[in-house]
């Protein structure tokens, strides 16, 4: 069923009205979700009419409908991609067998853990971005923020659906707990590190949506391979929404660079302190933000050697990125993979069993993919004729998960002493003064078609709207 039923209280394409128990459980959860949205969702936005995209169908060509919506009235629901007939398990010990429509008892705990971890990131990101609406650089950007927020809310619904339909009482308890944890809370934090960091300003927001939402792309793609078919179908549809989030990040950073380069060229100034007097974000500060978001995000792939990852793969719960395009046996027993470890003050390669290195395999796929956008940002700088090289730091830089967690490594990949790190860290990671400067630029721009001084307008509007389109009616 590709078309979504919007006449039910909870929009869905899973025939919800035929499963009364599930419907009741979800209708019980719905007001708690709305209460969470009102408490932790976008600050002060309850009266705005926002030009949002709503899914109407999960068919590849027909799912978007644009119109002004009050966000608390957004129709969050349950949308699964269409089932693939005769789908077979594509990897692991059960390769070639029919996929599962129900959770096998022996995999229940691991599947629940994966779904909860995925689900936890969604409300976390909304909480992290909660206050950004009050400093949006334009209506266009504000609309994009809200679009991302409502979709992350829907991604929470996607995971809650799986928990409530397939995990009985435990699932219902986990669904409640997803509304109780809070990003950055000392007592009840979100599960993964990056989702407890702050997103204090719009440069951080664009970096987050470029880098951290891309972790979403890779993790969701790995889950889309799952033998548990409902998880595969729901993550496949989530991936279509994720693409827009990464676009907002990539184009956002790009527009910051365009504006900075414009001012650098017009004034001939290269010195960051002097440039700041013109109210734009200097490129070294942008690089330091990049270093932070990149390193925090690659931590999200977990430890470089992980028996969890091996179990998830062999039991068919979580595959690799683009599993079916890979030319191997999709079982991986006996294979090996090279990871890095620190030895005698240097980083050296070490061969480990492939199955245990699957977190690292996914991280390396991510690293390749995320570098491409950084290359496109570099081209903006080169085209402006400015002599500055952006780069992604070495994968051992500023890590807190895995074998690099307890060592200090420079962005170039040199193992450092604690003292060497301390002397240089302010050149590599955004300092308090960088953040205070960026915060000082964050004024709210509400006029239609106007943009803050530190960012260039987008080349084209959302849904090809004209430059002066009213994306948000503030009422």
List 25, 227, 275, 401, residue binding ligand BYC (CB under 6 A): 401
- Pick the binder of ligand BYC from 55, 99, 300, 357 (CB under 6 A): 300
Query: CA 195, CA 121: separation in Å to the nearest integer?
Result: 6
Task: Report in angstroms how near the CB of residue 310 gets to ligand BYC at its nearest.
Answer: 9
Which DSSP symbol is given to 415? Answer: E
Helix locations, 129-201, DSSP H: 139-166, 168-180
Residue with tokens 């993979």: 337
| CA distances, 276 to each of 105, 380, 438 (Å) | 59, 20, 10
Shortest separation between residue 387's beta carbon and ligand BYC, angstroms = 34
* CA 294 to each of CA 256, 268, 299, 366, 426: distance values in angstroms, whole numbers, following the listed order: 18, 30, 9, 11, 16
Task: Name 7's Cβ contacts closer than 8 Å, sequence gap at least 6.
Answer: none
Distance between CA atoms of 153 and 11, rounded to whole angstroms?
14
The residue among 440, 405, 79 whose CA lies nearest residue 285 is 440
Interface with ligand BYC, residue 364, by CB under 6 A: no
For position 315 contacting ligand BYC by CB under 6 A, the verdict is no
Is residue 250 part of the contact set for ligand BYC (CB under 6 A)?
no
Binding mask 177-196 for ligand BYC (x = CB under 6 A): ---------------xx---
- Identify which of residues 201 and 304 has a Cβ nearer to ligand BYC in the complex: 304
Residue nearer to ligand BYC on the CB measure, 401 or 455? 401
Q: Minimum distance from CB of 216 to ligand BYC (Å)?
A: 3
Size of the site for ligand BYC (CB under 6 A): 25
Q: What CA–CA distance (Å, rounded) separates 160 from 172?
A: 8
* Burial of 266 per CB tally in 10 Å (0-12, 13-18, 19+): exposed
Q: Judged by CB under 6 A, which of 183, 285, 359, 370 binds ligand BYC?
A: 359
φ and ψ of 189, to 5 deg: -80, 170
Q: Which of 127, 141, 151, 152 binds ligand BYC (CB under 6 A)?
A: 152
Identify which range of 10-18, 306-314, 328-336, 424-432 contacts ligand BYC by CB under 6 A: 306-314
| Angle 143-383-217 from CA coordinates, rounded to 5° | 45
Give the contact letters, 404-433, x = binds to ligand BYC (CB under 6 A), - = no: ------------------------------
Neighbouring residues of 190: CB distance < 8 A, sequence distance ≥ 6: 120, 121, 124, 127, 181, 182, 183, 184, 196
Of 308 and 465, the one with the shorter C-beta distance to ligand BYC is 308
Determine the Cα–Cα distance for residues 108 and 130; give it in Å rounded to an integer.
34
Q: Which two tokens stand for residue 156?
A: 């929470």
Interface with ligand BYC, residue 197, by CB under 6 A: no
The answer to whether residue 103 forms part of the interface with ligand BYC (CB under 6 A) is: no
By beta-carbon proximity to ligand BYC, the closer residue of 122 and 282 is 122
Stretch that binds ligand BYC, among 76-84, 137-145, 293-301, 403-411 (CB under 6 A): 293-301
CB of 296 to ligand BYC, least distance (A): 8
Residues 208-227 that bind ligand BYC (CB under 6 A): 212-213, 215-216, 219
Alpha-carbon distances of 59 from 79, 82, 135, rounded to whole Å: 11, 7, 36
174 binds ligand BYC (CB under 6 A): no
Task: Candidates 114, 380, 441, 445: give the one binding ligand BYC (CB under 6 A).
Answer: 114
Residue nearest to ligand BYC (CB): 302
Chain residues that interact with ligand BYC, rule: CB under 6 A: 114, 117-118, 121-122, 125, 152, 192-193, 212-213, 215-216, 219, 299-303, 306, 308-309, 318, 359, 401
């Amino acid at each position: 069923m590709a078309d979504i039923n919007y006449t039910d209280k909870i929009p869905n394409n899973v025939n919800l009205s035929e499963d009364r128990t599930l419907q009741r459980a979800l209708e019980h959860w719905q007001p708690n979700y709305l209460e969470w949205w009102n408490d932790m969702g976008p600050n002060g936005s309850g009266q705005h009419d926002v030009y949002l995209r709503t899914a109407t169908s999960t068919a590849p060509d027909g799912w978007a409908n644009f119109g002004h919506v009050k966000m608390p009235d957004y129709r969050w629901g349950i949308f699964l991609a269409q089932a693939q007939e005769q789908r077979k398990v594509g990897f692991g010990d059960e390769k070639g067998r029919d996929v599962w429509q129900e959770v096998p008892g022996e995999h229940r705990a691991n599947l629940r853990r994966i779904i909860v971890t995925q689900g936890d990131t969604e409300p976390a990101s909304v909480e992290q971005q909660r206050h950004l609406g009050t400093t949006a650089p334009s209506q266009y950007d504000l609309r994009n923020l809200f679009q991302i927020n409502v979709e992350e809310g829907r991604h929470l619904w996607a995971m809650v659906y799986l928990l409530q339909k397939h995990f009985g009482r435990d699932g219902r308890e986990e669904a409640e707990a997803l509304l109780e944890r809070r990003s950055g809370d000392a007592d009840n934090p979100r599960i993964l590190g990056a989702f407890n960091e702050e997103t204090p300003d719009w440069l951080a927001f664009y970096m987050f949506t470029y880098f951290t939402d891309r972790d979403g792309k890779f993790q969701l793609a790995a889950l889309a391979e799952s033998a548990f078919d409902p998880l595969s179908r729901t993550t496949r549809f989530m991936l279509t929404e994720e693409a827009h989030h990464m676009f907002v990040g990539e184009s956002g950073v790009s527009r910051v660079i365009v504006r900075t380069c414009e001012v650098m060229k017009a004034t001939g100034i290269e010195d960051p302190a002097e440039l700041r007097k013109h109210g734009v974000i200097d490129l070294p500060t942008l690089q330091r933000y990049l270093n932070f978001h990149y390193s925090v995000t690659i931590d999200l792939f977990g430890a470089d050697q992980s028996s969890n990852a091996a179990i998830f793969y062999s039991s068919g719960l979580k595959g690799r990125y683009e599993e079916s395009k890979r030319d191997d046996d999709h079982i991986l027993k006996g294979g090996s993979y090279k990871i890095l470890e620190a030895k005698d003050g240097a980083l050296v390669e070490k061969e480990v069993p492939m199955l245990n290195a699957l977190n690292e395999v996914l991280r390396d796929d991510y690293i390749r993919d995320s570098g491409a956008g950084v290359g496109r940002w570099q081209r903006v700088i080169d085209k402006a004729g400015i002599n500055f090289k952006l780069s992604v730091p070495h994968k051992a830089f500023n890590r807190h998960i895995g074998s690099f967690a307890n060592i200090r490594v420079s962005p170039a990949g040199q193992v450092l002493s604690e003292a060497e790190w301390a002397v240089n860290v302010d050149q590599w990671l955004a300092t308090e003064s960088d953040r205070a400067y960026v915060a000082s630029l964050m004024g709210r721009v509400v006029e239609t078609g106007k943009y803050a001084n530190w960012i260039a307008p987008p080349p084209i509007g959302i849904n090809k709207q004209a430059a002066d389109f009213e994306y948000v009616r503030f009422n």
